[in-house]
Amino acid sequence: MTKHIPKGGEFLISDLSPSDIFIREEFTEEQKMMYQATVDFINTEVVPNISRFEHHEYKLTESLIRKAGELGLLSIGLSEEYGGLNMGFNTTMLICEEMSGQTGSLATAFGAHTGIGTLPIQLYGSESTKKKFLPKIGSGEWISCYNLTEPDAGSDANSGKTKAVLTPDGKHYEITGQKIWISNAGMADVFIVFARIEDDKNISSFVFHKDEVTGLTLNEEEKKMGLHSSSTRQVFYDKVKIPVEQMLGERGDGFKIAVNALNAGRIKLAVATSGAMQNIISWSVKYANERKQFGKTIGEFGAIKQKLGNMATLAYCTDTAVYRAGQNIEDNTHKLAEEGYSSSESKLMGIKEYAIECALLKVYASEAVRFVSDEGVQIYGGMGFSAETPMEAAYRDARISRIYEGTNEINKMLAVNQMLKKAMAGKLDMMSGAKSVMSELMDIPDFSESDTNEILADETKILKNLKNLLLLLSGASVQKLGLNLSTEQELLMHLADLGIEIYVLESAICKTKKMAELKIKEDISPYIAMTTINAYRAVEICVNASKEIVYSVLEGDEQQMLLLGIKRFTKTKPKNLTLLRREVANVLLKENQWCL
């Protein structure tokens, strides 16, 4: 049977079978061996030095990136012809998770190098450019950085003022301008830079080695809230000459290159925060088992168990969603290669198809690590505010994740605009679904009970209703506002909130069902508990977002009709979430670490 590979955004209008979802327990022995090699590297090289990352030891971070390259951890996704292991997208996700879990400084350096510092060359470089740069980037001999942001060009990346002027002999472009917030700049050998040629509508992209140019200068390291051993500098270009053959893609392709590199960066950021959450939970559990108050360890108190249960739920759901999307990207890439597309084209199109999912997951995961790190500090109490503990640094480092790879606000609007664009182009039939749901709303409600013999029956019904709710609200918004909807930023962000919760809840339900069907875990109850906790959390978020949409778009009878729709599609059965959180927390406290 041919494996079904869903289209990007298809989760909004179709149901996913547990058999169609990939879960981390299905990684092969080869993938697990590479993961274990990464774990060993982290335990040997990073954990013993964890406190040093808060003292601006940029050379430590640089040395670790180069050592990781020697071990093959930077070249997992590169083709063999460029010295890589060609292990597939989801394997790169797995390694990114482990490399990013201990400190944001290493996570940023690793992500900037292997993601946006590699992909533009890998996907858009000429063959000679790839052969020149990729093997040494993959081995860690050369460290790469990505120069896009400017003082007046942040979220609006295509508005950059850096100029590229063709020399009279036609052999070079001279780059002049300023870039800011450039990760890895202080230790980079390779610079990917974006600049505008003449009055082109779109920017262009170039790559060069710093030793081959003049006119390149860097400011001192930036003073930042977190990421204290991640190099971040301003970069100044004064007629830096780059050979014309080292342009990436074609003239004017820069904005497209930036966007497509960021698609991969977003989902990699999501899996990086997943690794951070798992470590934060482990630190929290250990502290809760050690700290005593009122004659008990604090882990015995319900208030702490509530925190641990909620923290674990977010970490579990992030994990399920990122590897689901990662495998979809990998499967789609393989499919495109089999259809005759080149390796670069397949990887580019494979990721681009899931731009919606990448944006939504970046938002969910970065908000999740915000919550988890904040609760981690709270569990530590006064010690959580102390720089002597890892929790203080984790809290500060987590904050940047809502800004990296496009702010969460930009990503929410981008995702919904992509959904609407696909719907208008007939690639995502949301309008038929919206009409069907509106018709259903006029019918007598379904008062039938869920099949109580089916695992997660109530949660599955919640998921179906939330999908109906999103279709109902998106249809009403389009009908009322038309093309003007794309400019209503608040509405777009509320619609995105529904899309995020739907994708993550569906992922969790399908993973938990699959684990039960395949008997992957001896005791499935904590996973069922986390899925249920998430389902009820999702309903609360969707109720609030939906009311905001209806209040903003409709009035009178139309408003009342949709408010009834919200009530109908967010109805839930009473469940004791307190006991479920305790159940999850007790498992963690018993194992004294993240184990779910």
| Amino acid at site 105 | S
Catalytic residue among 375, 405, 459, 506: 405
DSSP symbol at 114:
I
**Beta-carbon-side half-sphere exposure of residue 497 (alpha carbons within 13 Å):** 20
Terminal-residue alpha carbon distance, the chain: 32
DSSP characters over 123-150? HH--HHHHHHHHHHHHHTSS-EEEE--B
* Residue 501 near residue 541, CB atoms below 8 Å: yes
Please give the torsion angle defined by the CA atoms of residues 374, 378, 380 and 384, in that order, rounded to the nearest 10 degrees.
60
CA 503 to chain centre: 13
**Beta-carbon-side half-sphere exposure of residue 199 (alpha carbons within 13 Å):** 0
* Residue 596 near residue 316, CB atoms below 8 Å: yes
- Write out the two tokens for 572: 């839930």
DSSP characters over 497-535? HHHHHHHHHHHHHHHHHHHHHTT-SS--HHHHHHHHHHH
Distances (CA, A) of 183 to 110, 112, 232, 533: 10, 7, 5, 37
Distances (CA, A) of 539 to 299, 375, 514, 572: 28, 22, 23, 8
Active site residue 405: yes
Distances (CA, A) of 102 to 49, 253, 282: 10, 36, 11
- Write out the two tokens for 379: 């569990």
Q: How far apart are CA 581 and CA 504, in angstroms?
A: 19
Nearest alpha-carbon partner for 126 in 188, 195, 240, 205: 205
* Residue 151 near residue 180, CB atoms below 8 Å: yes
Q: How far apart are CA 559 and CA 545, in angstroms?
A: 15
CA 386 to chain centre: 29
Residue 153's SS3 state is strand
List alpha helices for 381-429, DSSP H: 390-399, 408-424
Q: How far apart are CA 123 and CA 323, in angstroms?
A: 22
Category of 456 on φ-ψ map: left (φ > 0), alpha (ψ -120 to 50) or beta: left
List residues with catalytic annotation: 405
